[in-house]
């Protein structure tokens, strides 16, 4: 039985007041793990106010040194992060991140025992060309070959065309793609493929969460815009009963 996860990704949004509001509300679920992906500068405050399951949104591929502006896995750990998102499409698109770099970031996180939330997904052009599965193979295979994916990994499938557009994937399409992801992982380990949590991300809102959550292979969500609104995020969490 895979425990559901509902993870927030605040991106470059939010502030100390919003952290304080979420900390005061203390959203709860008996069935889903709630994770807060926060700008690194807010992590320490979130932790000290009692928010649990904090995730960084990115990490440096380097351990330390002359890398102005970057944040290391050691620093994330010290501030209290237990998870870290890597490979978000905004990092791939605006910062040219590829699998080679992401494998290095992943290794840094493993050294600090920070669990990885690895984002994958096709662009609109790749979707239109019908090559989603080969894109997912391109994004997953190097990580499988490097032995980085295990049952504690969290995969976030986020079709790029659905992120921040209000145009979520249909539940059927997301379910089919999650099955394909499990199939790709099962080529290396059927056991890991059956245990790994695969989240859907891309315009998840209170009004579509339940239909997506009912799908067998959708083990949770990575939520951007709607994770900034306490009430809406609460309703999304409640989609997992």
Residues annotated as catalytic are 88, 158
Q: Please tell me whether residue 64 binds ligand PEP under the rule CB under 6 A.
A: no
Of the candidate residues 36, 71, 203, 232, the single one contacting ligand PEP (CB under 6 A): 203
Q: Please tell me whether residue 223 binds ligand PEP under the rule CB under 6 A.
A: yes
Nearer to ligand PEP, 189 or 208 (CB): 208
Interaction residues for ligand PEP, span 10-29 (CB under 6 A): 11
Q: Please tell me whether residue 163 binds ligand PEP under the rule CB under 6 A.
A: yes
HSE at residue 171, side-chain half, CA atoms within 13 A, is 15
Other CB atoms within a 10 A radius of the CB of residue 85 amount to: 24
DSSP 3-state of 12: coil
Q: Please tell me whether residue 121 binds ligand PEP under the rule CB under 6 A.
A: no
d(CA 128, CA 105): 30
Q: How far is the CB of 191 from ligand PEP (least distance, A)?
A: 28
| Whole-number Cα distances in Å, 171 to 23, 123, 179, 208, 212 | 31, 18, 12, 9, 5
Q: How far is the CB of 190 from ligand PEP (least distance, A)?
A: 28
User: How many residues sit close enough to ligand PEP to count as binding (CB under 6 A)?
Assistant: 14
Place of tokens 């969490």: 237
Q: Please tell me whether residue 87 binds ligand PEP under the rule CB under 6 A.
A: no
d(CA 128, CA 89): 17
**Element of type H or E holding 32:** strand 32-37
| Contact residues: ligand PEP, CB under 6 A | 9, 11, 158, 163-164, 201-204, 222-226
């Amino acid at each position: 039985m895979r425990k559901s996860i509902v993870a927030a990704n605040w991106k470059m949004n939010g502030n100390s007041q919003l952290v304080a509001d979420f900390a005061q509300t203390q959203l709860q679920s008996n069935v889903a793990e709630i994770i807060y992906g926060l700008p690194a500068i807010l992590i320490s405050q979130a932790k000290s106010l009692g928010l649990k399951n904090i995730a960084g949104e990115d990490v440096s591929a380097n351990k330390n040194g002359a890398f102005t502006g970057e944040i290391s896995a050691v620093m994330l750990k010290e501030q209290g992060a237990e998870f870290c998102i890597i490979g978000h499409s905004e990092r791939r698109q605006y910062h040219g991140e590829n699998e080679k770099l992401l494998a290095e970031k992943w290794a840094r996180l493993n050294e600090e025992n920070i669990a990885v939330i690895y984002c994958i997904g096709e662009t609109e052009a790749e979707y239109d060309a019908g090559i989603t599965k080969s894109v997912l193979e391109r994004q997953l295979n190097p990580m499988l070959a490097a032995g980085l994916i295990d049952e504690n990994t969290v995969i976030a499938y986020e079709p790029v065309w659905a992120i921040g557009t209000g145009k979520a994937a249909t539940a059927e399409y997301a379910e089919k793609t999650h099955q394909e992801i499990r199939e790709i992982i099962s080529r290396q380990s059927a056991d890991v493929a059956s245990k790994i949590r695969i989240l859907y991300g891309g315009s998840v809102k209170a009004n579509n969460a339940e239909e997506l959550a009912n799908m067998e292979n959708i083990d949770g969500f990575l939520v951007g815009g709607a994770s900034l609104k306490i009430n809406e995020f609460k309703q999304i969490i409640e989609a997992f009963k």
